[in-house]
Amino acid sequence: MAKDPTRALRIEPGAKVSLKRWPTDDTFGWEKESAKAELEAVKQRLDVLQQRLAAEQRRSVLLVLQAMDAAGKDGTIRAILSGLNPAGFQVTSFKVPGGPEIDHDFLWRVHSDAPAHGRIGVFNRSHYEDVLVVRVKNLVPKSVWSRRYDHIVGFESLLADEGTTIVKCFLHVSNETQRQRLQARVDDPEKNWKFRAGDLDDRHLWPQFQAAYEHAIERTSTARAPWYIVPADRNWVRNLAVARILLHTLERIDPKLPPPDPSVTGRIVQ
Ligand code: AMP
Ligand code: MG
């Protein structure tokens, strides 16, 4: 495999982030057809490493997906996980908090859905909503949300200390791509169900959301839980990029099959 261009998407700790300067339509020189074939190859590797992770039963991986509406969080999950062993993965979609969630701290519901040892968890939205939509829409006072960045860094470092490797992807779409996709959700009966009138309110707050994302990424991209900014105007680029980032993460932790049990080695099964 040639040098992986997705490495360049990683935000180093302390780096400044200006989303306007990050392309949304990069292709890294990939071609659509060969990228689809490569996605299948990456998924086969993911399958092997997920099995080892399960066999090892000591560590886990958490992939966090954040994005503006219609950037393709659901599509990414479908593309990279379909065909893999469902028992090895868990997907959690975080919605507006309700019930007991609102009576607890913002990390309570998130912590309980962190992946157990041996598993790969994918968060479709996450605790980052609590410094994104919550900040942009003033759902809690600034004095509350502004303290959350440090809490997030501490929380993620706790997970890392206890065996969970975290990787976070911001799926970066252009304003025009979002407009087209939201329009398609209005026009296409098959897509109507994805459209909420509230999506337009969020769209009007585009600059505020971009600024909140920049700040969140700057404050929380750490060596142990890095952010990647993934160009997401083209679904096939986005899918392959996220799959490669996840694969790279698993390769780095290199899960190992447990050594054979000496009391079992060589036994004859009658
Ligand atoms: P969707 O992902 O399109 O199903 O929409 C879920 C909605 O829940 C989005 O509008 C999110 O901004 C919202 N949401 C998720 N987490 C939170 C949170 N902690 N506080 C407020 N809104 C949230
Ligand atoms: Mg939505």
Q: Return the HEC string of the chain.
A: CCCCHHHHHECCCCCCCCHHHCCCCCCCCCCHHHHHHHHHHHHHHHHHHHHHHHHHCCCEEEEEEEECCCCCHHHHHHHHHCCCCHHHEEEEECCCCCHHHHHCCCCHHHHCCCCCCCCEEEEECCHHHHHCHHHHCCCCCHHHHCCHHHHHHHHHHHHHHCCEEEEEEEEECCHHHHHHHHHHHHHCCCCHHHCCCHHHHHHHCHHHHHHHHHHHHHHHCCCCCCEEEEECCCHHHHHHHHHHHHHHHHHHHCCCCCCCCCCCCCCCCC
pLDDT recorded at residue 83: 94
Let me know: does 171 contact 73? Beta carbons within 8 Å: yes
Query: Whose alpha carbon is nearest atom 20 of ligand 1?
Result: 96
pLDDT recorded at residue 1: 47
For domain 5-253, the question of CATH label 3.30.365.10 is answered with no
How many residues are given for the chain?
270
pLDDT recorded at residue 71: 98
Which of the residues in the chain have pLDDT under 70?
Answer: 1-2
pTM of full prediction above 0.95: yes
Report the alpha-carbon distance of residue 30 to residue 20 in Å, rounded: 22
Is 194's C-beta closer than 6 angstroms to any atom of ligand 1? no
pLDDT recorded at residue 5: 85
The DSSP bridge partners found for residue 91 are 122
CA 95 to centroid of ligand 2, rounded, Å: 9
Q: Work out which ligand 1 atom sits closest to the CA atom of 132.
A: 12
pLDDT recorded at residue 122: 98
Q: Where are the domains of the chain?
A: 5-253
The pocket of ion ligand 2, defined by CB under 5 A, consists of 69
Query: Whose alpha carbon is nearest atom 15 of ligand 1?
Result: 95
